[in-house]
Structure 1
Amino acid sequence: MDGACVYLVTGGCGFVGERIVELLSQQDYIKEVRVFDSAAREEVEKYSTDTTRVTVRRGDIREPGAVLAAMQGVQVVLHSAALVDYRGSVPFGELRAVNVGGTENVLRACCALSIPYLLYTSSIAAVGPNSSCEPLLRGDEDTEYSGEVELPYGKTKAMAEKIVLEANGKKLSNGGSLRTCVLRANTVYGERAAFLQELLLLTRASHGALNHLEPEHTERNHTYVGNVAWMHVLAARSLQLEPGLLAGQVYYCYDDTPSQGVQVRLQLLSSADPSTDKAARHFGYKPLFTWEESRLRTAQWLKAAAGSPAPPQLHEKMS
């Protein structure tokens, strides 16, 4: 593979997408990181370096023409744009138009423009919970988990995953082949995490009580946003260098954040080993940030964003 590459990040102004852009801009084998986002912010161009230029283009992932124009001259696409909804507040048709229709537009553009590499940012919601609310306990990429996905958002992510994986090996207009793989994020925390800001406001409204409905021993995977982004950087590069290994594969995002969900949220607001190691085995992934670094960075951001509240106390909410 000769010469520096142009990478495109859809949704590159989002919570995870911006961190991907920041880390990509630090790689000297990339000459341009192009951001495509409906909420594009020119300030993201601040990540430009002496060797890598960051450019921003505003556009809607649902518009094929806008997608095609943004992807001209690109070699690698990291498709992170998505409409996220864990509460069922967004109509299914709107979710499908962005998460599935937008992905179809990106895949069509890859084929038309002969872009050989696509990395898709999925979610554990594409796997479950299922409609029977059965737990997926310490599973990995090979764990079978049956039943219908319960959440509308999860259904659209599963649909998008399917078409991305089915597109692996598809012929490009220049006669080459498209290589795709999928990264599944779980609960992502860190600076600018909206759910943490909401939790902070709720604890303040409850006079310092962090109410919860789940037992304290419940396991819930959290991953720091910087490590999710770093896995994207490594996977995208390895997809280029070792397509025979990564193409058609699915990887869960993980780091060394403890798995006790309630306690993790308590510690994040106050100041475990992963089930899988597939990413480490296939492309040498190791977390860029330790749990302690991740916790401190997040706590410092929360303190700066909303002041320093008294440490929250844990209260189990009965229902």
Structure 2
Amino acid sequence: MDKACVYLVTGGCGFIGEKIVELLSQQDYIKEVRVFDSVARKEVEKFTTATTRVTVMKGDIRDYNLLLAAMGGVHVVVHTAAVVDYRNILPFGEMRDVNVGGTENVLRACCARDVPYVVYTSSIAAVGPNTSHEPMCRGNEDTRYSGEVELPYGKTKAMAEKLVLEANGKKLSNGGKLVTCIIRANTVFGEKAAFLQELYVLAKARGSVLHYLEPQGSERNYTYVGNVAWMHVLAARNLQLKPALLAGQVYYSYDDTPTRKGFLIRHQLLSCMDPSVRLGSHIPYWKVWLMIQLHRIITIILYPFWKPQPFLNVPLLNTIVTTFSYETDKASRHFGYKPLFTWAESKHRTAQWLKAAAGNLEPPQLQGNKG
């Protein structure tokens, strides 16, 4: 195997992608980390080290020819580029074109350019909750869970997953085979997590009180972005070293975040940055549902004269209040994954970023990046 690999990270300027690029640049077996992103922030090249060069290329994964050009000489692709849209801001067709059509382009380009290894960044939303809002409590990668995924974003990720798994074992133009695996991220927190900045703005507007929507008994996994990225780094490396074991596998991301109660995690993160933030009370489902309907009616009546800020929708509300958690050590068993950052480190890093970002009182953009 080549001792000086070239990695391509699609969406490498995004929330998770940038952290993957940072950690990849610290690996001495990689000579270049090539970033392919529609945003193409040149400051990501600051991660260049004495042994690993980071280069940024501007391009949209919907453009097959640009992808083909970017993959020249590449050994491994980490495909993170996607539109992350839980609030249905974008038309479904556009999100599908990026998340599904773009993934198809990445896989086609790999086969044409003889790039044998692909790690795909998926989401727990690709699994559920389903339209019946059935819970999954501490399942694992083998847990059977059926029914139609409710969130449109989740539908696109499920469709893309299917493409990635079907591509595993496909012939390359040089006669080799494509080897793929999938990392399913969950609720990811850390530096540049837009939802935390938005929550802080909302809490301060309510007298430093952080209310919550999920029932106290509900569960959902939270993972620090650095640990999600580290799992990608290890999976990509071991996809090369142990392809027979990792080929066609799916891995849930996890770390030592101490609880699955989302409202407690959010409170700990925000109060670590600002001790005045205190945990409020549970907002009943029916009250939020009425607010959503009222917001929708007002928007219809006043459109196009007034376009309000994006608000919750019923599918997202149902996702928030439905237990959807897992418990697994599969990544540890298959490729020796251990969290790179402890909970204390993760919390501290997140708090430091929030302190620096607190001066920006404008709610951040909630729409994900395309790459």
Q: What's the TM-score once normalised by structure 1's chain length?
A: 0.95
Deviation at 1:90, TM superposition (A): 1.5
Q: Is 1:240 the equivalent of 2:240?
A: yes
Deviation at 1:235, TM superposition (A): 0.2
Contact 2:140 2:326 (8 Å CA) reproduced: no
- 2:204 is aligned to 204
Contact 2:137 2:326 (8 Å CA) reproduced: no
Root-mean-square deviation (CA, aligned residues, Å) is 1.4
- 1:190 is aligned to 190
Q: How many residues align?
A: 308
- 1:281 is aligned to 333
Cα distance in 2, alignment partners of residues 215 and 164 from structure 1? 35
Deviation at 1:308, TM superposition (A): 12
Deviation at 1:217, TM superposition (A): 3.3
Structure 1 stretches of 4+ with a deviation exceeding 6 A read none
Three-state SS of the structure 2 residue aligned to 1:180 is strand
Contact 1:122 1:161 (8 Å CA) reproduced: yes
Per-residue CA distance 1:128-169 (angstroms, 9 max, x = gap): 010001111101000001110001100000000000000000
- 1:73 is aligned to 73
Which moved further from structure 2: 50-59 or 208-217? 208-217
- 1:269 is aligned to 270
Q: Is 1:305 the equivalent of 2:357?
A: yes
Three-state SS of the structure 2 residue aligned to 1:97 is helix
Q: Is 1:291 the equivalent of 2:292?
A: no
Three-state SS of the structure 2 residue aligned to 1:133 is coil
Contact 2:136 2:326 (8 Å CA) reproduced: no
Cα distance in 1, alignment partners of residues 193 and 334 from structure 2? 29
Three-state SS of the structure 1 residue aligned to 2:357 is helix
Deviation at 1:254, TM superposition (A): 0.3
Unmatched 5+ residue regions in structure 1?
310-319
Aligned residue identity for 1:103:
T
Aligned residue identity for 1:138:
R
Cα distance in 2, alignment partners of residues 89 and 136 from structure 1? 27
Q: Work out the percentage of aligned pairs sharing the same amino acid.
A: 75
Cα distance in 2, alignment partners of residues 256 and 42 from structure 1? 33
Aligned residue identity for 1:245:
L
- 2:12 is aligned to 12
Q: Is 1:123 the equivalent of 2:175?
A: no
Cα distance in 2, alignment partners of residues 222 and 263 from structure 1? 11
Aligned residue identity for 1:215:
P
Three-state SS of the structure 2 residue aligned to 1:188 is strand
Cα distance in 2, alignment partners of residues 108 and 4 from structure 1? 24
Per-residue CA distance 1:61-119 (angstroms, 9 max, x = gap): 11111111111110000000000011122211001100000001000000001100000
Cα distance in 2, alignment partners of residues 98 and 37 from structure 1? 12
Aligned residue identity for 1:25:
S
Q: Is 1:25 the equivalent of 2:22?
A: no
Aligned residue identity for 2:163:
I
- 2:86 is aligned to 86
Per-residue CA distance 1:184-227 (angstroms, 9 max, x = gap): 00000000000000000100111111121212332110000000
Contact 2:139 2:326 (8 Å CA) reproduced: no
Contact 1:256 1:274 (8 Å CA) reproduced: no
Per-residue CA distance 1:261-288 (angstroms, 9 max, x = gap): 11000000101x9600000000000000
Aligned residue identity for 2:65:
G
Deviation at 1:2, TM superposition (A): 3.0
Cα distance in 2, alignment partners of residues 308 and 59 from structure 1? 29
Structure with larger Rg: 2
Cα distance in 1, alignment partners of residues 65 and 139 from structure 2? 40
Contact 1:220 1:261 (8 Å CA) reproduced: yes
Cα distance in 1, alignment partners of residues 3 and 80 from structure 2? 25
Within 5 A, what are the aligned runs for 1:73-222? 73-222=73-222
Contact 2:25 2:49 (8 Å CA) reproduced: yes
Cα distance in 1, alignment partners of residues 269 and 135 from structure 2? 25
Cα distance in 1, alignment partners of residues 356 and 112 from structure 2? 46
Does the C-alpha gap of structure 1 residues 197 and 240 become closer, same or farther in structure 2, counting only changes over 3 Å?
same
Q: What's the TM-score once normalised by structure 2's chain length?
A: 0.81
Unmatched 5+ residue regions in structure 2?
273-324, 362-371
Cα distance in 1, alignment partners of residues 248 and 2 from structure 2? 24
Aligned residue identity for 1:259:
R
Q: Which has the higher contact order (CA 8 A, sep 6+)?
A: 2
Aligned residue identity for 1:279:
A
Which moved further from structure 2: 84-93 or 183-192? 84-93
Aligned residue identity for 1:135:
P
Per-residue CA distance 1:38-65 (angstroms, 9 max, x = gap): 0011110100001100000000111111
